[in-house]
Structure 1
Amino acid sequence: MKYDVVIIGGGPAGLGAAIEAKRTGAKKVIILERDRELGGILNQCIHNGFGLHEFKEELTGPEYASRFIDMVKEFNIEYMLNTMVLSIDENRNIVALGERGLIDISARAIVLAMGCIERSRGAIDVPGYRGAGIYTAGAAQRFMNMEGYMVGKRVVIYGSGDIGLIMARRLTLEGAKVEAVVERNPFSSGLNRNIVQCLNDYNIPLLLSHCISYVHGRDRVNGVTISKLDENMDIIHESSKFIECDTLLLSVGLIPENELSREVNINLDNTTRGPVVNSSMETNIEGIFACGNVVHVHDLVDFVTKESRIAGRNAAIYALGENKDKSYVKTKGGNGISYIVPQYIDTNSNENIDLFMRVRNIYENKKLIIRCGEKIILEKSRLHMIPSEMENIKLSPHILKKINGDIEICVEGA
């Protein structure tokens, strides 16, 4: 089986990339999806808040996905469901297992769009028993919203990631009592709007600088012990208290899913844990592109779609043999910047290039400064910046022409 562009993953990133590849002129495009339907994580996100940037209206996750699924069908883009990609190589040969059995596919270009996975209890090493009633927030969301299974009646949520915050509201609306959301850091890892709409509106306490120091219940969770943390993240033992509950949800972060990327020797960023990409969303392996949460965890699905268009378009251009000369320089995060994507940008580009980044701490009334050597290329004032909300700087072709070497971005005064 030979294709111009093969998309691995049928979530929002994969759908957007496939459509854009087809629009750009790739004739044979296929999506490989391991689940039973297209849409990815959006299928279980029945709350609204999606599409404000993309469609200028509020949609639920399934509504957002359905618009792109309809476009996939309009463009007659092939897709295989219940199909797991087992391996890819540097020559863009793919081995997959699906309803047709073992499949060999040859691709002129590949787009990786596998999304991300949740950190588990093992990854955070919570002491105590491992009884029933412990779920990741995403698993609980799928159980409730897609399978119709109520996970518990008295719930504590560990971590303030967006899925955990949204599940606090969802559980409350279904009649459960959410005792608290416990967060190790002095700031939430979720969006401010979710703190307001999902916690404050329902009087659910958010306990910052706290940890769960023990999980009780041999057969089923019957409570947790929470403790305050000092500035060194050490437990203040005299602050410990017991909270009775029958369910513990873990919302302690997401990790890009990159088993396939490692197998093909794609360079991964130590901070994002996703592929290192250039402004075409191409990895260090020629003809293999990546986009969405497999590159870095986004806070809005609209930005995933925006990024996927870049990957899909450039994958099609590569497959059609229409590449142009590019001049790449490296982007580096300085003081106050956790990471920047893309890690390399083309200074010859005739289009705007968006740089996405996250800051390390909470900053008020600061500037984002872009330097090339000692020269300041651009500066942007920001009233408020927090780690949970991604920052975006747009570089126009006019600005790109001023860059003659690697650039560094930092928070002024961090």
Structure 2
Amino acid sequence: MSDITVDVAVIGAGPAGIAAGVGAKKAGAERVVIFERDWDLGGILQQCIHPGFGLHIFGEELTGPEYMHRWISKAREVGVEFLMNSMVFHMEDDGSFWIMNPSLGIKKVTPKSVVLAMGCRERPLGALGIPGTRPAGIYTAGTAQRLVNMEGYMPGNKVVILGSGDVGLIMARRMAWEGAVVLGVYEIMPWPGGLRRNIAQCLDDYGIPFHLEETVVEIHGKDRLEGVTVAKVDRNRKPIVGTERLVGCDTLLLAVGLIPENELSRMAGVAINPVTQGPYVNELLQTSKPNIFAAGNVVIVYDLVDWVSKEGERAGKNAALFAAGELKEPTRKIKILGGSNVRLYSPQWLSGQADATIYMRVAQPIEKRCKVIVEPGAYEKQLRYARPGEMSEVQIKAEYVQSLGDVAEILVDIREA
């Protein structure tokens, strides 16, 4: 049983993985192979038939399949290889891994460097601890999206959506298009979880009620969902007694957060950030294992796919340089700390080898002029606003990092201007 030997191996053929393959080939890697467990390329964007992708990279609004078609065409043009129906089921400490493929059987893949691009998964009902029965009719928003857009099935007719993540907002509109009655979107936080444009285009334009600081507290039904009890919550996100009301429905869609898919990362011994639940990475998208890189939603959940692709391309480029022996192992490790209003951010440390883009999500919205602060030093960027559902970013030059001398940590925060 011969091994598969490659220069750069990419795990996952979604927006981050395809872009990583392109970046690796453009940087000179001879053999780049993308391994995908599905039978087709494109990842989650196969089922995202709505427009809104590609505005930053291609300068026009594309559907998910259109967006991925362009990247797949790029990958084929530069000579990226694809191995579909290939489930990676085990990773070794050195970055090699094992796949199962119906034609090849079980094979070991030995790469010079690896890019992890497995994406993320939805938070299921079991993670929420909502009391009640477990009838049919409860789906994650992404599962419902696949059923409607790819399989041709309608999950139900009277729909409640819990959570205001972008997929949930988009599915509110999609279900309304298919003739379902969307009774409301319920969000436990005081602000939306998704992009404001999706609130306007998917809820406001269709008269779909949006309830902030309310959540589902009980599920009803034996064989099929018959309804849910909703209630208002206090500042501690606890239900307020006396505000409960029953909403009759046959379908509940969950849009309550995404989790980076990192079983393989843990298996490889890559250090995981307990806050983002993705690998710790530096500005090169390099993990704690120098030959293993990670990009896209496997690191931190992004709001725009354009950023996922940009980070994937950068990770692929750096993985190719490492495979060729042209990328030095980091000699510095300056830790990034999030300030009081920065909840999630990536990367988590800097080596000073390249310019860095730090992506951040705020803990509390600031609906007026604000600024990104990087300390030490007078490093600032002005923003019109900062919202938890939308990522903010700041670029840091390698020269700035190199000028810090013996400084071991820098702080990033977003504050009112």
TM-score range, shorter chain: over 0.9
* Cα distance between partner residues in 2 of 1:318 and 1:325: 9
Write the deviation string for residues 274-301 of structure 1: whole angstroms up to 9, x where unpaired.
Answer: 0000111011012000000000000000
In the alignment, which residue of structure 1 is the partner of 2:345? Answer: 340
Within the candidate set 54, 58, 61, 1:58 is matched to 61
Question: Contact 1:291–1:308 at 8 Å: present in 2 too?
Answer: yes
Question: Contact 2:130–2:217 at 8 Å: present in 1 too?
Answer: yes
Q: Which amino acid aligns with 1:136?
A: T
In the alignment, which residue of structure 1 is the partner of 2:202? Answer: 198
Q: How far has the Cα of 1:368 moved from its partner? A: 1.8
- 1:352-363 alignment, distance < 5 Å: 352-363=355-366
Q: How far has the Cα of 1:211 moved from its partner? A: 1.0
* Cα distance between partner residues in 2 of 1:380 and 1:20: 28
In the alignment, which residue of structure 2 is the partner of 1:330? Answer: 335
Q: How far has the Cα of 1:348 moved from its partner? A: 4.1
Q: What SS is found at the alignment partner of 1:49?
A: strand
Matched length: 409
In the alignment, which residue of structure 2 is the partner of 1:97? Answer: 100
Q: How far has the Cα of 1:105 moved from its partner? A: 1.1
Once the two structures are overlaid, the 10-residue window that deviates more, 51-60 or 403-412, is 403-412
Q: What SS is found at the alignment partner of 1:236?
A: coil
Q: What SS is found at the alignment partner of 2:382?
A: strand
Question: Contact 1:332–1:339 at 8 Å: present in 2 too?
Answer: no
Q: Which amino acid aligns with 1:122?
A: G
Q: How far has the Cα of 1:71 moved from its partner? A: 1.7
Unmatched segments (≥5 aa) in structure 2: none
* Cα distance between partner residues in 1 of 2:378 and 2:34: 40
Write the deviation string for residues 61-87 of structure 1: whole angstroms up to 9, x where unpaired.
Answer: 000011111122222321111110011
Q: What SS is found at the alignment partner of 1:384?
A: coil
Q: Which amino acid aligns with 2:384?
A: L
In the alignment, which residue of structure 1 is the partner of 2:183? Answer: 179
Within the candidate set 80, 94, 99, 1:77 is matched to 80
Asked if residue 263 in structure 1 is aligned to residue 267 in structure 2, the reply is yes
In the alignment, which residue of structure 2 is the partner of 1:87? Answer: 90
* Cα distance between partner residues in 2 of 1:74 and 1:340: 34
Q: What SS is found at the alignment partner of 1:42?
A: helix
Once the two structures are overlaid, the 10-residue window that deviates more, 193-202 or 65-74, is 65-74
- 1:217-236 alignment, distance < 5 Å: 217-236=221-240
* Cα distance between partner residues in 1 of 2:51 and 2:133: 36
Alpha-carbon RMSD = 1.4
In the alignment, which residue of structure 2 is the partner of 1:21? Answer: 24
Within the candidate set 242, 245, 252, 2:249 is matched to 245
Q: What SS is found at the alignment partner of 2:174?
A: helix
Once the two structures are overlaid, the 10-residue window that deviates more, 87-96 or 222-231, is 87-96
In the alignment, which residue of structure 1 is the partner of 2:373? Answer: 369
In the alignment, which residue of structure 2 is the partner of 1:380? Answer: 381
TM-score normalised by length of structure 2: 0.96
Q: How far has the Cα of 1:401 moved from its partner? A: 4.2
